[in-house]
Amino acid sequence: MITGHDYADIVDRALAEDLDETGDITSQSVIPVESRSTGQFIAREGGVIAGLPVAGYVFTRVDGAIEISSIDEGSRVEAGTVIATVSGPSRSILTAERTALNLLARMSGVATATARFVEAVEGTAARITDTRKTLPGLRVLDKYAVTVGGGVNHRMGLYDEVMIKDNHIVAAGDLGVAVARARDHLGADVRITVEVESLDQLANALATTADRVLLDNMDLATLRQAVEMVEGRMETEASGGVTLETVRAIAETGVDFISVGAITHSTPQLDIALDFV
């Protein structure tokens, strides 16, 4: 679960972007200051709802007089479901509306996409994980939404886990050397993942102290061979061009994780609207 500490700055930046120093000139000029309204967030399509605490914070950040009630975070809803209700000063509700919707709809879109991949591999041992292909500045929200959809997070950034990829290996001169340097520099407690593109590279990786091997863009037959080679000595992760149509077959090769960049970098927002009642 995320807290206000995780997203307060994101919300403040989003509101500042929308309001500048002048504020909502439409609501200020059209709606009497004493006007009060009740609005409902309605799902226009089915999906998994994520981001209700963030959307609620947007409203209270704009005006502490706004009251909010909602369904449970992570709920699966059908089209037409009332997700949340807000009541309070009309001007303030409309001022907060777009920022709240932008964040709620994006996070729900990510959660919904993740849930579809999770459902597609149900019954296998594979778990769906994310990547660093998130919207800049919104990573904490994107990755939280992945967990709401049933996925798991890979590293949060460059700072918390080592991932040695092809360019690192080229620059270091050798896969084994790269892993040894990372381990010597960071110690035994930091996790190391190494990316390989062939079974020969995998054989080299298995001779290192890496914790996970990322099997990049391998076909199904090669993935099965790779899993057999690893024999549980380190975690396995399949990556590269994974789609809903291919993910089940990938999971059935026996890999532990399947990383899907598309759940954060290409997922459309869930269609959610705010209507006054």
Q: What is the pLDDT of residues 14-26, one digit of tens each?
A: 999 999 999 999 9
pLDDT of residue 188 exceeding 90: yes
The confidence score (pLDDT) of residue 109 equals 98
* CATH homologous superfamily for the domain 119-265: Aldolase class I (3.20.20.70)
Number of residues in the chain: 277
The confidence score (pLDDT) of residue 2 equals 84
Is 211 catalytic? The answer is no
Q: Please name which of 112, 111, 126 lies closest in space to residue 242, comparing C-alpha atoms.
A: 126
Q: What is the pLDDT of residues 124-142, one digit of tens each?
A: 999 999 999 999 999 999 9
Q: 195, 212, 237, 256: which one is catalytic?
A: 195
Is 216 catalytic? The answer is yes
Task: Determine the Cα–Cα distance for residues 113 and 275; give it in Å rounded to an integer.
Answer: 25
Q: Could you tell me the pLDDT band of residue 42, with boundaries at 50, 70 and 90?
A: very high
The confidence score (pLDDT) of residue 5 equals 87
Q: What is the pLDDT of residues 129-185, one digit of tens each?
A: 999 999 999 999 999 999 999 999 999 999 999 999 999 999 999 999 999 999 999
Q: What is the pLDDT of residues 243-258, one digit of tens each?
A: 999 999 999 999 999 9
In 49-199, at which residue ranges do the beta strands (DSSP E only) sit? Answer: 67-70, 76-77, 82-89, 127-129, 162-164, 192-196
194 strand-pairing partners: 164, 213
Q: What Å distances lie between residue 77 and 72, 85, 101, 122, 148, CA to CA?
A: 11, 15, 16, 20, 14
* CATH homologous superfamily for the domain 4-115+268-276: Quinolinate phosphoribosyl transferase, N-terminal domain (3.90.1170.20)
Region(s) of the chain under CATH 3.90.1170.20: 4-115+268-276
Q: Could you tell me the pLDDT band of residue 92, with boundaries at 50, 70 and 90?
A: very high
Is 195 catalytic? The answer is yes
Region(s) of the chain under CATH 3.20.20.70: 119-265
Task: Determine the Cα–Cα distance for residues 18 and 205; give it in Å rounded to an integer.
Answer: 49
The confidence score (pLDDT) of residue 4 equals 83
pLDDT of residue 1 exceeding 80: no
Buried b vs exposed e over 225-251: b needs ≥16 C-beta within 10 Å? bbbeebeeebbbbbbeebeeeebbebb
Q: 165, 181, 183, 191: which one is catalytic?
A: 165
Is 143 catalytic? The answer is no
Is 61 catalytic? The answer is no
Extract the tokens encoding 97: 């509306």
Q: 24, 130, 216, 256: which one is catalytic?
A: 216
Mean pLDDT of the chain: 97
